[in-house]
Structure 1
Amino acid sequence: MRHLYEAGTPPAKRFRYALLGLDILSIAWIVIASFLPPSSLVLTLDVLLGLVLASEFGMRIAASGVPLRSLVNPFNLADLVAILSLLLAPLLQGAMAFLRVLRTLRLLHSVKLITTLRSDLPFFRRNEEATLAAAQLLVFLFVMSGVVFETQHRANHGIGNYADALYFTVTTLTTTGFGDVTLPGTTGRLLSVVIMLAGVTLFLRLAQALFRPTKVRYPCPACGLERHEPDAVHCKACGQLINIPDEGNA
């Protein structure tokens, strides 16, 4: 199992890409379920998804080699709570459904997984920084939209489903602030402040990655400088001859 989670072989990479697909599927279900009224079908799908995620969680903890230490990792604990909220959905009858939003934190792990694409896709190697910045902004949007939905939809008539929460998050992040949806109370205002400050920071980082000159990552064997011009022959810091792989000689 550790080989599947950590090795760089093609089968191990395919396994981790399958996990990425599972993460995306679980987040998609959380979004879709926000539009559906409680029913036996929805509860059954909750439990089935919870069983699949619980199996993967057990494999992940076992593969770590230090199960207890991995189990108390905050992100793993959050994932476990989200999985339990799915497994116990028929008993809780939606009372603790807000806990499933913790599953969106797995997207942070997915961003780390995306870095393995560096060795698989030339496009990702050329646009790695912009791609990661976009992925981090997307993760922030999903996580904060989930938090807004789960904390507001029971009492705020303006937040009826995940799409409403996403709409509020995007308008707040971009400082558009149409005013048709607001979060009342001190907690709501503080949440809006967090969305504006953190979101604008991530948005500016994406803009910076998109518009500044493209550079490639390749450690200089002499001084260790990693970022170079795509057509560089010598390291600009120390003058060392470098041989940056490209699509023709990678």
Structure 2
Amino acid sequence: MHSAGRERAAWRNALANIIDNTDTRAGRLFDVLLIAAIVLSVVAVMLDSVGVYQARYGATLRGLEWILTVLFTVEYVLRLVAARSARQYALSFFGVVDILSILPAYVALLVPGAQFLLIIRVLRLLRIFRIFKLARYLSEASVLTTALRASLAKITVFLAVVLTLVVVIGTLMYVVEGPQYGFTSIPTSIYWAVVTLTTVGYGDIAPKTPVGKTLASVAMILGYGIIAVPTGIVTVGLAQAQASRRSDRLCPRCGLERHEPDARYCRRCGQNLPESGSGAIPELP
């Protein structure tokens, strides 16, 4: 009885070592093959949505998709078996993504067209961070998050000003140009103002009168200035966030600050540094 239990535990550990451990050759090979299968599946779904390829290779693409769906289903079950807590894995981010990447294929049996939701499998490519040891760089995302959060008020005011501008300019264009030149309503004119201020310029609506062209020129010039504003706001926020992140790495022995975020030892005295964001106060000798 005990030997059977040990054998099951050893089998689960070996399976978990292959699925979750990228330091082993088998684990790395498993994940690389998984990424290749995900890419192949996403490409197959995309091609199946193109009429020419669907007419010529539709049966082949759908057959390939079902083969990959079965493989992903088996992989999901194996992950549940290998996980220390099947429930914890099923409710984790990757667990939810994994099950959502499988379900559309089975739902498509009842709801035609649902198979195109399989494109969500592209989210599974996030596992590439774990395969190539890129997860440590995700900590830098906290700097961007901090910068955006600190700039939220400024960006909100900026967007409010832009919204006011497009409403005013759109209304003026409706009054100046009128329905005879394509500005059939104020919402349509506001759409034109948004397209013009963002320098997209679809060209589906264009002013014809001299006054309208003058107003359009002003809107275009304003658009170039508006583009630079959020860039400057976020850039300043990033610089402040990075400076704050460095300044909180104070050496508890000599008080030296502005260490790199990933530094573990003080560059002056070699003392162990506190974790970033710990808020440790230096104890000067």
**TM-score with structure 1 length normalisation?**
0.46
Query: Larger helix proportion, structure 1 or 2?
Result: 2
**TM-score with structure 2 length normalisation?**
0.41
Q: Which has the larger radius of gyration?
A: 2
